[in-house]
Structure 1
Amino acid sequence: MSTQSTVPSRKDVYSEITSQLVAAIEANPGAPQLPWRKSSGALFMPVNALTKNTYNGINIVSLWGAAELKGFSSPVWATYKQWSELGAQVRAGEKSSPVIFYKEFDAEPNPDDAEDDGKRRVARASRLFNAAQVDGYADDPAPEPLGPIARIAGADAFVSATGARIEHGGDRAFYRPQADHIQMPSEDTFCGTESLSRSEGYYATLVHELTHWTGAKHRLDRAFGKRFGDQAYAAEELVAEIGAAFLCAELQITQDVRPDHAQYLAQWLKLMKGDARAVFTAAAKASEAASYLKRLGAEARAAA
């Protein structure tokens, strides 16, 4: 009688998580959400000042780019007419930023096409101005700090064992290769999202950046230039977000694949022009990164 263990291997767990992420992406996960409050920068989801609706599709990327290029700190946009309706005035000489919207109209259905319902859509351009370009409009006041997060001891021990240098401050999360350090937003800015708590948001962000940290030349020397070319940055982001999913599962930060992982993955896959296979390449690299980080932990424990 076989005594082989029925406990699934880590490779099987990672494969299962990858499959769940792909399924979540295919189920249209929606727009990405930041788990911390951001007072500046282009990665807040762009929102219309009058309707309060967020922009979607290619308009998100377009407005992110415009904000980054022009140094806008506000995610709030509107047309000239909409700003006027709000009692605000676009300053003389300010340049607009383009977005695309689709207008639907009725036409005669094609008699040779049984599925033609006569609905037609035509693309129209619209021109937007950022809140930083107008007078007479006040953004919502900055929220009060939330205080330190609740610590998760196992996650803290895991991160400490890597030896990574981590600094806190500001409202951005990133790994800086030149200085070889991870920068995290201040703890009191973490507010969580619909799918994770403040603490989970903090640690999920931190292990995302730790996955980037593993790619340094003197660690795993991860590069994507040959296959992905100009999309190498997006490929690395895929690795980091899948790595975060793996590590959250390892650290028992969550019980299941969270929608926020799928939201970010879907965004980066879109930027990579729909390369569906990229997620599996990224998953393999993410698995390597997660194993590397766990090995650092094992070595730290052995040396203790």
Structure 2
Amino acid sequence: MSLSITASRDSRYSSASDEVRLTPHERVTAQISSLLERGVRPWIKPWDDIATPDALVLPLRSCGTPYRGMNIIALWAASLESGFRSRHWFTFKQALAMKACVRKGERGSFVVYYAELGDKSEGDGKPSRAPKAKGANGDETGEPRRILRGYTVFNAEQIEGLPETFYAPTETPVAPRTLIPNSEDETRWASLFARIPVTLRHGGNRAFYSKAADFIQMPLREAFRDGSQYWATLAHETAHASRHETRLNRDFGQTRFGDAGYALEELVAELASAFIGAHIGLPADHLEDHAAYIDGWLKALGDNPSSFLTAASKAQAAADWVLAVMEVD
């Protein structure tokens, strides 16, 4: 895949005033939609010809814990558009607390979090006491009201004065690399996927998950151009398998091939396999027709801007289930 990753840092939105008018879920959806409209999936690492052979890695908060769900995709997208190589992100105040400073003129990236109503923190703070949500009869349900909020973070490469460990090491461009994994990788991935409690069958020229019969069908390992693509495809189909009613019972109301429910389920599997891959060292790649998928995703996002946030949340739950069964931390 050939792609320039030197896009302007101001290209994500048409103007600062446009950003202000958008709700938090509209802002992150606009960022992702902008890339999808150009045929770019930000959860696919597009610069294999110059980068180290690692799969995508999870972006990290200032405290070192990984971001989750929608924010993983948002920060992968920001890194793609701006060419960031560090995986560390800070708020302005967090940088100052480390006696560092965001460079003048740098634009931050937008991330979201659910807060209890009344919470004024930037996602990492302690929520304040919130009013309780009310049920249909007007009685308090005992659950606090939660709303989606957002805040701005900066990549370590936009900040001066951080300890060197937060910056990506300088790299010399290398020759195009192969994605063929070594035998140790293959053995490890085989061991991890063997723990998934879903029947795995081989044969034919299609990869799919049958919900009705609860099995995964894969072409023979030799049919794939390399081992990484085989295991990445299996991760995608395993994410689909998490939807079964005995597992996560995920249903977007699909009634026919290619409808909105189908598009959202495919998006969940794409994102979940990327999250899984970031944990176990797999590229997010498989053999389906992504151009058709992207058209469906863009239509779904246009009809409901919050659908990407929903898909990312469901994808995180699917990845959590797979990784828990694999016994991956």
> What TM-score does the superposition give when structure 1 sets the normalisation length?
0.46
Which has the higher Rg, Structure 1 or Structure 2? 1
Whose helix proportion is higher, 1 or 2? 1
